[in-house]
A and B are shown apart, each in its own frame.
Chain A
Amino acid sequence: MTRAVIALLGLLLAGPALAEPELACQVPEGLVQADFAMPRVADAIAAKSLEIAVMGSASSALTGTGGASKSYPGRFEAALAADLPGVTVRVSTYAKPRHSAAEMQGEIPAILSAQKPALVIWQTGTADAIRGIDPEDFRFALDEGVEALRKGGADTILMNMQFSPRTESMIALSAYADAMRFVALQQSVNLFDRFAVMKHWNEAGVFDLNAATKKMDMAERVHECFGRLLARLVLDGAALTRQERKAND
């Protein structure tokens, strides 16, 4: 009896401890997968040096101590480095609060010349929706920006908005989300559907996104998952490139 109680206690104590390191970042099949090849990324991996830039607004950064390493660009860098032994992976972040897509587009030349990234992750949409910027202007900025990145020698991943259940009825996102999906298809670049991923997590109970809290822990775990999923998407895109090249040979 005593032994059973101790075993039970042990289980209770070990339960969370065991669950903690293995994060449930799972998403449904096909939600995070490369639809388009990433030739520049594949070349950079082959050359053992992968430069990546993350361009975005406030949701690409976490505030507080160690925010930079705990937000998704940092986690993405760590995940990718672990998956690509022998390859130098460097992720730089250009995140400015309230920056619209058009304003980010204006910074593309500077980012390209400063760093020569093989991949740019472009997170956008929320700031434009809050500021009420014309969805059509948003789409043009995105379209021209992706074009500029391609000409500058970088692959692009577009990252759409966060799913935020509390503010869902206050920020009209759908026109901007549609524009991003449209540009991704037109320009043949991959879209990281952050909105759908988070919505799935909320519905499946992986994260309680309704929770009101000042603590950073949930935000950090969410960003850890973004980082891992992005790494998976990038490896997927590089693998797709190799497949296509083999098929063409």
Chain B
Amino acid sequence: MPPVPTERDLRLDLFRGLALWLIFLDHIPSNVVSWITIRNYGFSDATEIFVFISGYTAAFVYGATMRDRGFVVAAARVLRRAWQVYVAHIFLFTIYMAEIAYVAASFENPLYAEEMGVFEFLKQPDVTLVQALLLKFKPANMDVLPLYIVLLAFFPPYIWLLLRQPTLALFVSVAVYAVAWEFGINLPAYPSGHWVFNPFAWQLLFCFGAWCALGGMTRIGDIIKSPWVVSLAILYLIACFAIVLTWYVPPWTRWVPKSLAEWMYPIDKTNLDVLRVAHFFALAVLAIRFVPPHWPALKSPWLRPAVVCGQHSLEIFCLGVFLAFAAHFAMAELSDGIPMQVFVSVSGVVLMIAAAALMSWYKQIEGRHSGSRSKPTADPAGSSS
């Protein structure tokens, strides 16, 4: 078995915290602030970062548990985590129902007779609620946690394999991805269609993150930092940026060769298009190259807010989804002008930071009471409670 690194990499918390902010900003519709998020400058978005780092930290924490205390204990902890995510998802669903029921009862406009159809499901709660509990009915923007639940549920055997045959484990993940693409495999959704984030495709990033955490990073570290790979990553990012520009300036579409467009489009998010994966890898290569693991700024007060958010990812993710609902609600009820968009965006991020700081504080005071029960080096913050 390869040695499992024991020191927590603050870069992961930093980037996961940033990803959580970006996911929040992207979830507020018609928000001018969301122009700063990475999805507007390339193929991938914050979801890729979140899933990859979640896989990395999950393997980091539960890999150590499995090595030290065996399969059963580690599997039990992973499944408990999956259960917590499930409960969090249902909690968010309840908030969503409250908002949608309010809008359904209070909003009326003959122009939007068709859009009011989205409230139809309120008429048959017997079906809708059961389908929601089965994770088949998932309202807009509530697709990431169900993905996370499924990934965690299948994670224990995967860590088991990773600890013994890391290369084989990576191969299995790529094979599942390829088979899902080849045969169009996805989980069914209600009332029709499939999951917005296909778990059979998105597991690739989660499992790759896990592979990196359990020794893969040391194996490919030198390749990633080679000037060739770094230059290739930069070139690819520039090319993606150029393509994305044509989405916003339609006349420039003419400059994209038709054969390239036919080969490239549509860039599928549901099935995690290879172009998206490549874009994420390119970003990751630059992050690893230019942000060293012991960069002093990682411990500076300036980056502290993002790091703290990243250390409480599940809670802050859920809070972000809730705050995005609340922000949209405030924009619809009060004003949807640019000052309001900036206001709800900034105050949302501030609230996320405040909540994360509060949770850190709780952890601190509880840690003092329970003595040295948990070692700081194996701090499972963000991936286990």
Residues of A within 8 A of B (CB): 30, 35, 57-59, 62-64, 97-98, 126-127, 130-137, 139, 162, 164-172, 175, 178-179, 182, 185-186, 199, 202, 209-216, 218-219, 222
What distance in Å separates the Cβ of A71 from its nearest Cβ neighbour in chain B?
10
Q: Does B190 contact A (CB under 8 A)?
A: yes
Assess whether A171 is in contact with B111, with CB atoms less than 8 Å apart. no
**What residues on A are CB-neighbors of B266 within 8 Å?**
139, 178-179, 182
Per-position 1/0 for B247-289, Cβ under 8 A of A: 0001101000000011001100110000000000000000000
In the complex formed, the residue of B with least CB distance to A217 is B110
In the complex formed, the residue of A with least CB distance to B103 is A166
Assess whether B111 is in contact with A162, with CB atoms less than 8 Å apart. yes
Assess whether A168 is in contact with B110, with CB atoms less than 8 Å apart. no
**What residues on A are CB-neighbors of B331 within 8 Å?**
165
Say which residue of A35, A164, A178, A219 sits within 8 Å of B110 (CB atoms): A219
Q: Does B182 contact A (CB under 8 A)?
A: no
Q: Does B364 contact A (CB under 8 A)?
A: no
Q: A126-B114, A202-B336, A212-B109 are in contact. Are A169 and B140 (CB under 8 A)?
A: yes
Q: Does B112 contact A (CB under 8 A)?
A: yes
What distance in Å separates the Cβ of A159 from its nearest Cβ neighbour in chain B?
13
Instruction: Pick from B114, B118, B265, B325 the residue with the most CB of A within 10 Å.
Output: B114
Assess whether B192 is in contact with A212, with CB atoms less than 8 Å apart. no
Q: A169-B27, A171-B140 are in contact. Are A134 and B194 (CB under 8 A)?
A: yes
Q: Number of contacting residues on B, CB 8 A? A: 45
Assess whether B336 is in contact with A210, with CB atoms less than 8 Å apart. yes
Cα A62 to Cα B109 in complex, Å, equals: 11
Q: Does B220 contact A (CB under 8 A)?
A: no
In the complex formed, the residue of B with least CB distance to A134 is B193
Residues of B within 8 A of A (CB): 27-30, 100, 103, 106-118, 120, 139-141, 189-194, 196, 250-251, 253, 261-262, 265-266, 269-270, 324-325, 328, 331-332, 336
Cα A167 to Cα B331 in complex, Å, equals: 12
**What residues on A are CB-neighbors of B115 within 8 Å?**
59, 126, 130, 162, 164, 166-167, 171
Cα A182 to Cα B253 in complex, Å, equals: 12
Cα A33 to Cα B32 in complex, Å, equals: 25
In the complex formed, the residue of B with least CB distance to A178 is B266
**What residues on B are CB-neighbors of A222 within 8 Å?**
111
Cα A164 to Cα B190 in complex, Å, equals: 23
8 A-B pairs besides A165-B29, A166-B115, A168-B29 with CB distance below 8 A are A64-B110, A127-B117, A134-B194, A136-B270, A164-B112, A165-B332, A214-B110, A215-B110
Assess whether A170 is in contact with B140, with CB atoms less than 8 Å apart. yes
Cα A210 to Cα B324 in complex, Å, equals: 18
Assess whether B109 is in contact with A169, with CB atoms less than 8 Å apart. no
**What residues on A are CB-neighbors of B324 within 8 Å?**
169
Assess whether A127 is in contact with B114, with CB atoms less than 8 Å apart. yes
Say which residue of A58, A179, A211 sits within 8 Å of B117 (CB atoms): A58
Assess whether B109 is in contact with A185, with CB atoms less than 8 Å apart. no
**What residues on A are CB-neighbors of B108 within 8 Å?**
212-214
Assess whether B114 is in contact with A30, with CB atoms less than 8 Å apart. no
Tally of A-B residue pairs with Cβ under 8 A?
123
**What residues on B are CB-neighbors of A214 within 8 Å?**
108, 110
**What residues on A are CB-neighbors of B117 within 8 Å?**
58, 97-98, 126-127, 130
What distance in Å separates the Cβ of A101 from its nearest Cβ neighbour in chain B?
13
In the complex formed, the residue of A with least CB distance to B106 is A212
In the complex formed, the residue of B with least CB distance to A100 is B192
**What residues on B are CB-neighbors of A171 within 8 Å?**
115, 118, 140
Cα A135 to Cα B270 in complex, Å, equals: 9
**What residues on A are CB-neighbors of B194 within 8 Å?**
134
What distance in Å separates the Cβ of A144 from its nearest Cβ neighbour in chain B?
16
Assess whether A166 is in contact with B110, with CB atoms less than 8 Å apart. no
**What residues on B are CB-neighbors of A211 within 8 Å?**
109
**What residues on A are CB-neighbors of B120 within 8 Å?**
130
Assess whether B107 is in contact with A62, with CB atoms less than 8 Å apart. no
**What residues on B are CB-neighbors of A219 within 8 Å?**
109-111
Cα A98 to Cα B191 in complex, Å, equals: 13
* 12 A–B contacts from the bound complex (CB under 8 Å): A35-B250, A127-B114, A132-B189, A164-B115, A166-B112, A170-B139, A175-B196, A182-B266, A185-B261, A214-B110, A215-B110, A218-B109
What distance in Å separates the Cβ of A143 from its nearest Cβ neighbour in chain B?
11
Assess whether B118 is in contact with A165, with CB atoms less than 8 Å apart. no
**What residues on A are CB-neighbors of B141 within 8 Å?**
169, 172
**What residues on B are CB-neighbors of A215 within 8 Å?**
110
Cα A216 to Cα B110 in complex, Å, equals: 6
Cα A83 to Cα B110 in complex, Å, equals: 29
Assess whether A172 is in contact with B109, with CB atoms less than 8 Å apart. no
Cα A189 to Cα B362 in complex, Å, equals: 59
Assess whether A168 is in contact with B109, with CB atoms less than 8 Å apart. no
Cα A146 to Cα B298 in complex, Å, equals: 54
What distance in Å separates the Cβ of B97 from its nearest Cβ neighbour in chain A?
11
**What residues on A are CB-neighbors of B113 within 8 Å?**
58-59, 63, 97
Q: A169-B141, A213-B108 are in contact. Are A130 and B118 (CB under 8 A)?
A: yes
Cα A97 to Cα B250 in complex, Å, equals: 31
- Closest 5 pairs between A and B when the two form their complex, measured CB to CB: A58-B114, A168-B29, A219-B111, A172-B140, A59-B114
Assess whether B103 is in contact with A167, with CB atoms less than 8 Å apart. yes
What distance in Å separates the Cβ of B38 from its nearest Cβ neighbour in chain A?
16
Cα A165 to Cα B189 in complex, Å, equals: 25
**What residues on B are CB-neighbors of A202 within 8 Å?**
336
**What residues on A are CB-neighbors of B100 within 8 Å?**
170
What distance in Å separates the Cβ of A6 from its nearest Cβ neighbour in chain B?
36
What distance in Å separates the Cβ of A155 from its nearest Cβ neighbour in chain B?
20
What distance in Å separates the Cβ of A228 from its nearest Cβ neighbour in chain B?
17
